[in-house]
C-alpha cells in the first residue's frame, strides 16, 4: 500500500455510527480525533468569565474530557499526550484551569495545497485532511444548500469527492428500511389509498417520512390490535394484512375512513369481521383490479408488493 499521497477527511465523519459507537478508541483514532477537534483558524472563545485567544491548530480541553470522549482513564490520556510530545507531534500547555493542546505543523498540513514532502518532525500526519478541510464552516453552509443531506456515505469514492454527503447519526435513521416488511406494507397501503384518491394527503414515499406508518404495520404484525401483548400471539400475518387492506380499500364506506396505518390498526378487528362476512368480496378479482388501477393512476410505476 502506498504511504504517500493524501485523502480528505471531513469533520462530519464524527457523525458516523462507527465514530460514535466504537469505544474505547485506539491510539490511531485518538490522534485523528485530535486533528479533527483543533481549530482550523485563530479565534477567541469565552473561558472563565473572559476571552481566550486560541490559535490555529490549538484546542482548549482537559484530560477529563478526553478520557470521557475516548473511553480511556485519565492516566492513559496523560501518557498518550506525553508520548505525542516526545515525538514532536503535539505541544501541551497546562494551567490550573485548562489544558491547551497544539498540533505541531498543523498550518502546513492544512494549507490549500499539500506540501511536496511531509515535514520530518511530523511524519505521522501524512494522511490528514488537506484540501478545503480548513474551511469547514464554509462546507457546512454549502451542505445546508444541498439536497443530499440525508444520503448515506457507504463507498470510499464518495468520501473523496469535493461534495461530502451527510451521514445520518443512528438517532436520525429510520427504524425500517426499504427492504423491510413493515415499510413495504406501509407503502402498499399508501398506494391503495392514492389509487382511490390521488389528492389524499399521505407521507412521502421514503423510509424516514413513512416511519410512523411502518411502525404501526410492525405492531400490527407482532401484536395485532391495540392493547394486545406479544405473548398473546394475536398478530396478523403479512398475507392477512394485505387482504384486509385490499378489502377496506374496495369497500365504499371503509376506503374513505382508512386513510392511514394508524387508523388501519385501530379498526383492524372490525375490518377483519366485516371482510369475513362479506360474501361478495372476490379476492382474486380485487387484486387484479387493484394492480391495474394502481398502475394506471401512477403512470405504470411498479406496484409495491408486501
Is residue 24 reached through a cis peptide bond, with omega within 30 degrees of 0 on the bond before it? yes
- The pLDDT of residue 289 is 58
pLDDT for 133 beyond 50: no
What would the mean pLDDT of 162-171 be, rounded to a whole number? Answer: 56
The answer to whether position 1 is within a domain reads no
Total number of domains constituting the chain: 2
Domain endpoint, select from 113, 145, 170: 170
- 59 strand-pairing partners: 101
pTM as predicted:
0.43
The CATH number of residue 38's host domain is 1.10.10.10
Domain endpoint, select from 142, 170, 198: 170
The answer to whether position 30 is within a domain reads yes
Give Cα separations from 292 to 246, 295, 299 (angstroms). 13, 5, 11
pLDDT per residue as tens digits for the range 137-165: 444 445 444 444 444 444 444 444 444 44
C-alpha R_g of the chain: 28
Identify whether the C-beta of residue 233 lies closer than 8 Å to the C-beta of residue 239: no
DSSP secondary structure letters along 121-176: GGGGGTTS--TTGGGHHHHHHHHHH-S-TTPPP-SHHHHTSSSPPPPPPGGGS-SS
pLDDT per residue as tens digits for the range 75-126: 999 999 999 999 999 999 888 778 899 999 887 766 655 555 554 444 444 4
Cα 42 to Cα 127: distance, rounded to the nearest angstrom = 23
Is 192 in the same domain as 164? no
Domain endpoint, select from 123, 138, 170: 170
DSSP secondary structure letters along 279-303: TT--HHHHHHHHHHHHHHHTTTPPP
Which structural domain range is residue 262 located in? 181-297
pLDDT per residue as tens digits for the range 11-57: 777 777 666 666 788 898 889 889 888 888 888 888 777 888 888 88
The answer to whether position 227 is within a domain reads yes
Is 17 in the same domain as 157? yes
Amino acid at each position: 500500500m502506498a504511504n504517500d499521497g493524501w485523502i480528505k477527511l471531513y469533520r462530519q465523519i464524527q457523525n458516523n455510527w462507527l465514530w460514535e459507537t466504537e469505544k474505547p478508541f485506539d491510539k490511531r483514532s485518538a490522534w485523528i480525533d485530535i486533528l479533527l477537534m483543533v481549530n482550523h483558524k485563530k479565534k477567541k472563545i469565552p473561558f472563565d468569565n473572559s476571552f481566550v485567544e486560541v490559535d490555529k491548530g490549538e484546542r482548549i480541553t482537559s484530560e477529563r474530557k478526553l478520557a470521557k470522549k475516548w473511553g480511556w482513564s485519565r492516566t492513559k490520556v496523560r501518557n498518550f499526550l506525553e508520548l505525542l510530545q516526545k515525538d514532536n507531534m503535539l505541544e501541551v500547555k497546562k494551567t490550573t484551569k485548562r489544558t491547551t493542546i497544539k498540533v505541531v505543523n498543523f498550518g502546513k498540513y492544512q494549507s490549500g495545497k499539500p506540501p511536496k514532502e511531509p515535514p520530518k518532525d511530523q511524519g505521522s500526519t501524512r494522511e490528514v485532511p488537506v484540501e478545503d478541510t480548513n474551511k469547514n464552516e464554509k462546507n457546512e453552509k454549502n451542505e445546508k444548500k444541498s439536497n443530499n443531506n440525508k444520503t448515506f456515505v457507504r463507498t470510499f469514492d464518495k468520501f473523496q469527492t469535493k461534495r461530502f454527503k451527510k451521514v445520518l447519526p443512528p438517532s436520525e435513521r429510520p427504524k425500517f428500511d426499504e427492504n423491510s416488511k413493515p415499510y413495504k406494507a406501509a407503502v402498499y397501503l399508501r398506494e391503495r389509498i392514492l389509487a382511490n384518491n390521488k389528492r389524499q394527503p399521505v407521507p412521502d414515499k421514503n423510509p424516514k417520512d413513512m416511519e410512523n406508518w411502518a411502525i404501526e404495520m410492525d405492531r400490527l404484525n407482532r401484536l395485532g390490535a391495540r392493547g394486545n401483548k406479544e405473548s398473546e400471539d394475536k398478530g396478523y400475518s403479512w398475507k392477512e394484512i394485505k387482504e384486509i387492506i385490499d378489502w377496506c380499500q374496495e369497500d365504499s364506506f371503509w376506503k374513505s375512513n382508512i386513510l392511514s396505518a394508524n387508523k388501519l390498526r385501530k379498526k383492524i378487528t372490525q375490518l377483519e369481521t366485516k371482510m369475513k362476512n362479506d360474501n361478495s368480496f372476490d379476492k382474486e378479482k380485487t387484486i387484479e383490479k387493484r394492480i391495474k388501477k394502481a398502475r394506471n393512476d401512477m403512470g405504470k410505476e411498479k406496484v409495491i408488493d408486501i
